[in-house]
Chain A
Amino acid sequence: MKRSLFGRLWPNVTAVVLFIGFVFPVYWMFATAFKPTGDIISEDPVWFPTDVTFEHFKRATGVDHFWTYVSNSLIVTLCAVTLALVVALAGSFALARMRFKGRRGFVIGFMMAQMAPWEVMIIAMYMIVRDASMLNSLVPLTVFYMMMILPFTILTLRGFVAAVPRDLEEAAMVDGCTRAQAFRKVILPLLAPGLMSTSLFGFITAWNEFPLVLVLNKEAEAQTLPLWLSSFQTAFGNDWGATMAASSLFAIPILILFVFLQRRAVSGLTAGAVKG
């Protein structure tokens, strides 16, 4: 069945237009970050920067406490993801491989927990943390971030654990492994891709979190990168070069991780979850 020229052309033309629409804001962020200020504040936009400057990055990272924000963000995010993985791995193994009373209840409970409206609960979380005299500390942030990504991690890992053929585990146990050994030596290596893509999404969630740290940590020593980024407009006025440089720096780790793991992540998501 041959399609007409128009029939073959319009999907491709639409795809190109859409591609430009989706990529342009990201492109514009990087382009502005590298453009000299004169090109940024010009009456007609300079679409393709010819002079490249790192001036804006210098200003953006020259802010007081910048490296504190970086290390705070990294510490909080990595600890939260690691904790969530460890806790979730145990739970997801039970949910995927064992039969016990109330399993259905646990699954439903985690599904509900996954939809928790964290943005709305910040007042209560503020009170709890304040009553414990833990404001301006990284510990509450870490444990709450861990909780934000935990239900998702459990439910996704459950899919990955269930996908590991049971025969392999049994073969290991026949060969004399205990169940724990079989888990460590057989299932865990096979789970690596699942762990990677799951932790990727946990990482993104924790890295981006904004409302909670906004309320809990008012002191610069305990703040994270999202606050540094969002405070730019107020602090720098219309310094779009520095603001876009800051945005670029904040987005780069996530974009790299995401594009790098995209295929695995998407197939993991769909394999673990979207089964109609």
Chain B
Amino acid sequence: MTVQTERPPSGPVDAVDKAESGSAGPRPRAAARAGALTPYLLLLPACAATVLLLGWPLVKDILLSFQNLNMAQLIQHVTEWNGIDNYKEVLTGEDFWRVTLRSILFTAVNVALTMVLGALVGLLLARLGRRMRVMLLVGLVLAWAMPVVAATTVYQWLFAQRFGVVNWVLDKLGWHSMADYSWTSSQMSTFFVVTVLIVWQSIPFVAINLYAATTTIPGELYEAAALDGAGAWKSFTTVTLPFLRPFLYATTFLEIIWIFKAFVQVFTINGGGPDRLTEILPVYAYIEGVGNQHYGMGAAIAVLTILILLGLTAYYLRIVLKQEEEEV
């Protein structure tokens, strides 16, 4: 929920630490050793939980992906290893590639819309007067805070075939064929609803973070730019944009991750339908695995999905890790 990918506040901490460990000289050795263990003991519960509750499911997922595990095996509790058969079947089938392409396009469109519109709203926030800004912030926060399942239900109502507000407005605007339009009847219109929903809920995060970032730009930079004769556009490209670049990178990266695995929105709007045409990878893994009870296949799709996600974010991940290594 946060841009926790940038530099953490550290800094003078390290220097003080050194001084402290230096003055700890006369302490008995056993106590010093216990002191050296303290951070690890403090981290132990968190690490144990991570290994047990995150690491194990990950490993289990990989193990399952090499098993022939369907309804029969599930009920009888038998483990049948079948090597890379699941992967072979998934990767040679047409479905997986179609869903992958669809997921990537879906993510690209949604992230692009969210970032462009979110950045514009963020810049608008910086330009508004106080009263208008607070008003718009309240609106943004409301949309941001809406629980996803509730928001999805509301969008189903907004886009309902009968008595839905959207169809009524379109009809009144002169598009009469939309008066009784069923938005979930075709692939594109279902994706349209999902996209509006996701963009509506994602813009506030981008806009508010970006606005917060603009408030940290020192005013002198603009003065200096103005002295150099820069106009509004020039000072935007030479001061604002370079300053905001790290935020834009970080938020884009997070949005890619969040939108790529937008299971709840797609699943609850129309269950991946019509005709499984709006399944994106997480939904596809769920429907193949749990829905059709091909658990091994589902696990293989899940592993591949995670690999694709890693691939999509690898570039940014590398920057973040490098930064973290330099700074921690």
Please report which residues of chain A, range 208-264, place their CB below 8 angstroms from some CB of chain B when the two chains form the complex: 208, 210-211, 215, 226, 229-230, 232-233, 238, 240, 243-244, 246-248, 250-251, 254-255, 257-259, 262
Contacting pair A259 B142 (CB below 8 A): yes
Q: Which residue on A lies nearest to B5, using beta carbons?
A: A111
- Distance of A19 Cα from B134 Cα, bound (Å): 10
- Chain B residues within an 8 Å CB radius of A107: 8, 324, 328
Contacting pair B45 A266 (CB below 8 A): no
The residue that A120 contacts in the complex, of B127, B306, B320, with Cβ under 8 A, is B306
A29 CB within 8 Å of chain B: yes
Provided the pairs A127-B60, A211-B286 are in contact, do residues A147 and B8 lie with their beta carbons within 8 angstroms? no
Question: What are the interface flags for B2-14 relative to A under an 8 Å C-beta threshold, 1 for contact and 0 otherwise?
Answer: 1111111110111
Provided the pairs A106-B43, A123-B295 are in contact, do residues A12 and B132 lie with their beta carbons within 8 angstroms? yes
Contacting pair A19 B136 (CB below 8 A): yes
- Chain A residues within an 8 Å CB radius of B64: 123-124, 127
- Chain B residues within an 8 Å CB radius of A238: 160, 162
B247 CB within 8 Å of chain A: yes
Please report which residues of chain B, range 1-31, place their CB below 8 angstroms from some CB of chain A when the two chains form the complex: 1-10, 12-14, 16-18, 21
Provided the pairs A96-B13, A120-B302, A251-B146 are in contact, do residues A15 and B135 lie with their beta carbons within 8 angstroms? yes
Which of B's residues lie within 8 Å of A, judged by CB? 1-10, 12-14, 16-18, 21, 36, 38-40, 42-43, 45-47, 49-50, 53-54, 56-58, 60-61, 64, 121, 124, 127-129, 132-133, 135-158, 160, 162-163, 165, 168, 200, 203-204, 208-209, 212-213, 216, 243-244, 246-247, 250, 257, 261, 263-264, 267-268, 281-282, 285-286, 289-290, 295, 298-299, 302, 305-306, 309, 313, 320-321, 324-325, 328
Q: A107-B8, A156-B4 are in contact. List 20 more A-B contacts (CB 8 A).
A: A11-B124, A18-B121, A22-B140, A29-B154, A41-B163, A90-B46, A121-B302, A123-B289, A125-B60, A210-B149, A211-B267, A229-B149, A230-B268, A233-B153, A247-B153, A251-B150, A254-B146, A255-B145, A259-B141, A274-B247
